[in-house]
Each structure stands twice: as structure tokens, then as C-alpha cells.
Structure 1
Amino acid sequence: MNTYLPRLRKQHLSTTALLLKPETKPITRETLQPFYQQEQISALLDVESGISRTAPLRWKSRRRDSFSLPYFTDLSRVDPFLDSTPSGVPKSGRWPSQPVPKMEDTQFQQGEEDDENKIKDLSRLTGLPILYLQSLKIRELVTHRVTNQTRLGKIAKQYVLTIAGDGNGMIGIGEASSTSGELASRLSQYQAIKNLRPIVRYEDRTIHGNVKVKMGAVEVLLMSRPPGFGVRCSQYIFEICRCAGISDLAARVERSRNPMNVIKATVQALTAQKTPDAIAKGRGKKIVDVRKAYYGRGVY
């Protein structure tokens, strides 16, 4: 009984193997005709007829076909008779190790030509003349180091916030971060130039009325002032007013005094002013009433 079961199992396995064995057909012209052209079929049959089925059994450790080398070698040494010796390599001995390539410094380097090309690109992008772009006032107001924690570790970068203006009613803000401080500075300058926007000024010296803007936890209140008052505010708002061409202004920063939010809130307040025409239409009055010039009132 113990010898009968293995026989049945062996017979069952052999029968299953025969059933699962893939069916193979001899290679003929009829079997290849649906897949190849006549010239390709002739070439395949010629190659097949030239290969002996018993050749691999006779090769053993060394090949004897037409593709085998006519001599024994490990291909790691230079043969003085059969191999052509390159210059600088001895006739006997191993090949020299491959020299390590010298990597050039790929750090961003900005030159005068790159500056000129970038200014031309900015002029083409914004539609502003090159002389106008070169005369802009650019100030870097915020510069600090930032760190991004990733699964590979901490990645340190330099953050720069820049404002740009022409001193005549145009202001723009740009920010950028990079591992190189110089690159971050240039990118923020280019971004500020791209974001140039016009602001509404009253008599080309102050704003129209009072404007209050909230940015995050920062609340900025800008107030118009009479001629000769000057710009009395924080250093960040003072630089923005210089770039925008505002000479009479008072400002108050309430709650938080984060420099980044103060700058962004100030620029948003300057660009979000309502014109006297819009205020007059909303109130149903004349423009002279809105400007406080009716019946000889003082204008400021």
C-alpha cells in the first residue's frame, strides 16, 4: 500500500506535465509567412540550417565557431602582437584605470552680459523700456534664513523680500528663496519688477483719505496728510513710500508687527485705494465734495 500511492502520484504528475507542455511546431515557410516578408523568411531559414543542434554539446568550455577568438586571453591585458597598443600604455600590463573627470563649479554666476539679457527679457515681458527698468528704485527689506525639514534632513535656504518702484506712482513687491543668497536676491528683484502696479496718489504726494488693511495678525492704517507733513511711519513703510513717490503720509501698525506682513499689507493698501470718482458715485455727490474743495475748504 505504501508503494502504490507514490506510483499513482508519479503517474498523475507525469500526465499533468504532458498536458501542460507547450505545443511546438517546426519552423517552416508557412509558419513564418504571416509575420515576415519573403526575404526575411529566406534569411531566417538559411541561418537556421547553418546551426547544428549538436554544436553546443561539442563547445564545452571553448567556442569553436566563426565568432570565437583565435587565441586564449582574459581580455584584461594588452597582447603585444594581436592588439594595437595605444600611446602611453605599456606593451605588457593591465590597462590604466579610467581618470576621474573633473567637475566644474556649477554655482550660479551672474555677469554683466547675464544682467543685460535678463533686463531685455523683463522689458519684453512687461512692455517697459530698458532705460526705465534700469532707473527703478529697488530695496531689500527682509532677509533671513529659512529651514525646511524633510525626510532627508534640514534644507537651509535664504529668503529675500524686495520692493521696486519708480518714485512716480509705481510699486511692486517680490519674494524668493534659494540656497544661494545672491541668487535669491536677484530672483526677488526680478519678481518685484514683474509685479509693478500703479497706485492712486492725491496731488502726486499722498493718498486719498484713510485706508486700513489687515494681513494675518497685522493691521496697517494709512492716513493722508497735508503738504509738508512728511512720511512719519515705520522704516518698512517709509521705504515703500520712497519707492512709490509718496511724500506726505502717516501710518500706524496695530497688533502684530511682523515685517513681512507689514510690507504686504502696506502694498495692498496702496494698490486697493478707491478713486475719488468711485467714491463720488457711491455717495451720490460731486467730486469736489469728496476732495474737500467745495466752498474753498482746505485741500489735503
Structure 2
Amino acid sequence: MPTPTRVRSLTGSLVFHMNTYLPRLRKQHLSTTALLLKPETKPITRETLQPFYQQEQISALLDVENDISRTAPLRWKPRRRDSFSLPYFTDLSRVDPFLDSTPSGVPKSGRWPSQPVPKMEDTQFQQGEEDDENKIKDLSRLTGLPIPYLQSLKIRELVTHRVTNQTRLGKIAKQYVLTIAGDGNGMIGIGEASSTSGELASRLSQYQAIKNLRPIVRYEDRTIHGNVKVKMGAVEVLLMSRPPGFGVRCSQYIFEICRCAGISDLAARVERSRNPMNVIKATVQALTAQKTPDAIAKGRGKKIVDVRKAYYGRGVY
């Protein structure tokens, strides 16, 4: 007995359409313009639909296919309602002989004349220069030093690291900068600042170093008067005077301080802790707090030659 052909009812046609090749092909045709313009490679006929649909369903599908043209989906696209939508249905893919014609007076070079690129002034850079000039004027007014002198100062950033401030709202990360400034002729200053911006912290520390400029006493404009020992926290710094030609033999931080202060002969020893910030602060404090032979002679009630022990033109060393 032959197996009867399974006939699907019209009630299940909607579900059946979603699982066949025909609805998927139709969906692609309706949603993609590129597929609409392509020729049909496999036309849909009654013979191809016979194994899947009833005769009534096949007739309905073929009638719908004949009624719908291939260019109909182009008119089914949703129209934009925003301010940038086109108020007409012109096909912009085609060249209009009137609207797209080359205007008279334009050379036929194959390129449209381009508009000149607007040139905008870099106001931010100019504003920064003006701020620097105004800040230098303010520093000159506060310190009483001339502007050319402030511009010729030697500035070195010795310590830069990240710090964090814990608050009830969370952690606030900042950049810490310690800077020294000097003229190379007996003036030295130290400044420190912290800010959320590294550039701003560097600039503020430079301003603080310039404000804190202090004179130091130098022997023969090259070394210090005797040995000086200073304790800053857990750091102990010992500075020792040396004869001419000895050079500066010490750590990198003290070396930079000596260059900014104008000291060419010095020996230094850092004992116990070697924290960079405390080493720098202790060195600057030792240079500014050293006692001169005149002050020692006045304190002892002696003459300066007795304090220096230099008689008849004999050198100190």
C-alpha cells in the first residue's frame, strides 16, 4: 500500500513559512537592495512548490509574487523624520543633468575647487605664555628680584612620585614634585608642591623654590666653611670642605644642589636613612645654617686670624 502524501492545512501555513527556503529568500529580497537588483537564478514555479504546499497555497503564493514588483521594496523603506532627512524621493545614485552639471568658469581639471582651510590661532599656547609672564612679574614683585635674573635661574626637579590622599569619599591621587632653584652664585631655594596634574605640580614647585631663595656662605666662592652635620628625620648629612680641584664627590641629589648653589669643591656623606626628600632638605639646611669664621670669632671674643689659625699669609689648607 503506497504511503499517503502528507497534506498540511492552511492553519499551519504561517509556521511552515518561517521554516522554509521561500520565506527566507523573500525576506532577503525585501530587505536588501543589492539582492533586488540581481537577476533571479532559480525562479519559483509551481513544480518547485508542489512537494511542500497544497494547491490553494501555491496559487495564493504565485498570485502574491506576480502582484509585487521587484522595485516595490525600495518604496517600503522607512522614511526619516529627523531634521537631516531629505524632503524628496530623488534617486541620488543617478547623475542629474541639470543639478550635477559643472558650473561655468570652473576649469575642467577633474577636481572641484576646495574651500580654504580656516586658520585658527592657538590661543591656549598664547594664554600660557601670558600667564607665565604675569607669574614672573608677580614673583619679581614679591621677591624684589629683577625679571632677567629670575629667567636665568637654574631649576632642577629632583623628586617626583605619586601620592594618595585617603578621604571619606575615596582616594585622591596626586603628583608630588620637589624642585630646587639657584643662580650658581651663592643662592639656593627649595620648593615642593602636589597636584592632580603633574604639569601644574611642577610649575607650583618651581614658583615655591624661587620664593624660598636664600643666600649661602661660600669660602673663596667654591666650598663651605669647615664641616657641617645636620639631622633631618632619620637622615644624617655630613658636608665637608675640600681644597681646590677636589670636585664634588657626593650623591646625585647633593651634586645637583651644589651645581645650583655654585659650589665646586665638596665632600658629603649620608648616614643612616637615605630618603631623597630628607637628604635634599637636610643639605639645603646645612648650607644655609653654616657658621662663618667672623661669627665664630665674635662668639669666642677672638680675632679671625686666631679662629682660622692662618698667620703670616699661610693658607688655610
TM range (shorter): 0.5 to 0.7
Closer/same/farther in 2, CA of residues 210 and 8 from structure 1, 3 Å limit: closer
CA RMSD of aligned residues (A): 17.8
For residues 194-214 of structure 1, what are the alpha-carbon distances to aligned partners after superposition, in whole Å with 9 as ceiling and x for unaligned? 000000111111100000000
CA 1:162 to 1:70, structure 2 compared with 1: closer, same or farther past 3 Å? closer
Whether the 8 Å CA contact 1:78–1:91 is kept in 2: the answer is: no
8 A contact 2:176–2:192 mirrored in 1: yes
Moved over 3 A (4+): 1-110
Structure 2 CA distance, aligned partners of 1:215 and 1:185? 24
**1:88 aligned onto 2:108:** no
Q: Kindly state the Cα deviation for residue 264 of structure 1 after the two structures are TM-superposed.
A: 0.2
The 1-side partners of 2:100 and 2:111 are apart by: 13
Residues 132-170 of structure 1: per-residue CA shift (max 9 Å, x gap): 000000000000000011111110000000000000000
Give the conservation status (yes or no) of the 8 Å contact 1:223–1:250: yes
**Structure 2 CA distance for partners of 1:239 and 1:99, relative to 1, 3 Å:** closer
Whole-angstrom CA distance in 1 between matches of 2:193 and 2:291: 30
SS of 1:184's equivalent in the other structure is helix
Q: Which moved more, 1:15-24 or 1:74-83?
A: 15-24
The Cα shift of 1:283 comes to: 2.5
Q: Is the 8 A contact 1:76 1:95 kept in 2?
A: no
Distance in 2 (alpha carbons) for counterparts of 1:173 and 1:34 = 95
Structure 1 stretches of 5 or more lacking a match?
none
Change (3 A) 1:20 1:56: closer
Sequence identity of aligned pairs in percent?
A: 99
Q: What is the deviation of 1:271?
A: 0.4
Classify 1:77/1:225 alpha carbon distance in 2 versus 1 (closer, same or farther; 3 Å): same
- Under a length normalisation based on structure 1, what TM-score does the superposition of the two structures give? 0.63
Q: Which of residues 273, 276, 284 is equivalent to 2:301?
A: 284
Where does the alignment leave 5 or more consecutive residues of structure 2 unmatched? 1-17
- Report SS of the residue matched to 1:111: helix
The DSSP-based 3-state class of the residue aligned with 1:91 is coil
Distance in 2 between residues matched to 1:239 and 1:192, nearest whole Å: 14
Q: How many residues are matched? A: 300
Greater radius of gyration (CA): 2
Call closer, same or farther: CA 1:50–1:249 in 2, change over 3 Å.
farther
Cα deviation code 1:9-54 (max 9, x no counterpart): 9999999999999999999999999999999999999999999999
- CA spacing shift, 1:67–1:102, aligned 2, 3 Å: closer
Displacement of 1:290: 2.4
C-alpha spacing 1:99/1:120, structure 2 compared with 1 (3 Å): same
